[in-house]
Amino acid sequence: MLAAVMAAGFVLVWAWVAAMPLAYLDPEYPVWRAKLAMLQRCDLGEVLVVGDSRAAVDVMPALLPVKTTNLAVGGGMPIEAYVAVARAMACPVPPRRVVISLDAAHFAVPDLFWERTVKFGFVGPADLALLRRLALATGDASLATPKVSDGLSAALRGWLYAWRFPPLYFGSLAKSGLFLRLWSNQAAYADALAARGQYFFGRDDGSSTVAVEGRMAGFVPLPVLDRYFDRMLALLAARGIPADFVAMPMNQATGRAVLPGVRAGFAAYLAHYEARYPGFHVVGPAMLAWPDHYFGDGFSHLNPRGAALLSMRFGQCLQGRLEQASQSDCVPRLEE
């Protein structure tokens, strides 16, 4: 009898965990969910933005001249960008252009792949199976397993996340009191849909904190992330869809701290792919710095003032790139 009661209780908890992720998952989850919803509905528009959190913050679709969807995500690496682009290419009417923005560190250092990308459902078992194959092919298992091992295989863990197995979510359930995040997460979800995927992290009136690029000793991309970047560009080339790489600005404090070798190595890496894929263009410098007062936190995310300025200036360039047959003359005036 006791076993039956315990089993019934576990089933009820499982049903809650599966049905109500907005009630307990982290405050960033509703934004990821909104991006997935737009992607699943193929509600993308003419321009698709993919990349990391700086792009998620800095590019405001509302200030751009054409319908744009921002699918960049916090901690995003080439793997998340590839997954978003691959799904977008399956839509009946794919975007006319893709804007890619990833900072140097997100090619070279594993981020919160299992803690966010897998846990939030942005990738599923099929995506993880591809990751395992590419990890084997490149000899790079950097992302193939979670940072903290609990005895579960990566494949099994992926399936358990997909099925929202309750023990994997107990930490979030405890922090949220089971349901106390529901109303704030619902509001964040609605806001992210209205903003077409753009959202803010810090909103301070400036930051002089040195971000990750200022602490890099060199630029060496992880082989598996390089493979995903190549696959994404190859997919876009096969579909005849042009792609622009647009670096989001870092604050001046970080710009001063970046070693010349890191700057040169990242620029050379992008130039290699620009030469390899005629439809891929690096627009502007690979690393640029803006005054510290435009940044809202220590990770070089722009504050609302900075994001509005960047979006308006980039929008002027974007309109030209969509209308002109020649791409070589358009360089966005992103610098102050």
pLDDT (mean) for 47-69:
96
39 in a structural domain:
yes
Q: Could you list the residue range(s) of the whole structural domain that residue 142 is in? A: 2-323
62 in a structural domain:
yes
- The residues with which 295 forms a beta bridge, in sequence order, are 302
- The residues with which 280 forms a beta bridge, in sequence order, are 243
pLDDT bracket for residue 310 (50, 70, 90): very high
pLDDT bracket for residue 326 (50, 70, 90): very low
Strongest mean pLDDT among 1-10, 28-37, 137-146: 28-37
Q: Say if residue 243's pLDDT is above 80.
A: yes
Residue 279's φ and ψ, nearest 5 degrees, are -85, 0
Task: Report the percent of the chain where pLDDT is more than 90.
Answer: 71
Task: Name which of 163, 276, 184, 188 is nearest 230 in CA terms.
Answer: 276
Instruction: Please state the pTM of the whole predicted model.
Output: 0.92
336 in a structural domain:
no
pLDDT (mean) for 293-302:
96
Q: Say if residue 328's pLDDT is above 80.
A: no
Domain count, the chain: 1
222 in a structural domain:
yes
Alpha-carbon gap, residue 27 to 25, rounded angstroms: 7
pLDDT for the residue 289: 94
115 in a structural domain:
yes
229, 107 Cβ separation under 8 angstroms? yes
For the segment 69-107, what is each residue's pLDDT rounded down to a tens digit? Answer: 999 999 999 999 999 999 999 999 999 999 999 999 999
pLDDT for the residue 6: 67
Q: Say if residue 329's pLDDT is above 60.
A: no
Task: Name which of 319, 314, 328 is nearest 246 in CA terms.
Answer: 314
pLDDT bracket for residue 324 (50, 70, 90): low
Q: Say if residue 224's pLDDT is above 70.
A: yes
For the segment 16-49, what is each residue's pLDDT rounded down to a tens digit? Answer: 677 788 888 889 999 999 999 999 999 999 999 9
Query: Beta-carbon neighbour count of residue 234 at 10 Å?
Result: 12
Tokens 């405890």 sit at which residue?
174
330 in a structural domain:
no
pLDDT for the residue 149: 66
332 in a structural domain:
no
41 in a structural domain:
yes
For the segment 170-219, what is each residue's pLDDT rounded down to a tens digit? Answer: 788 778 776 789 899 899 999 999 999 999 999 999 999 999 999 999 99
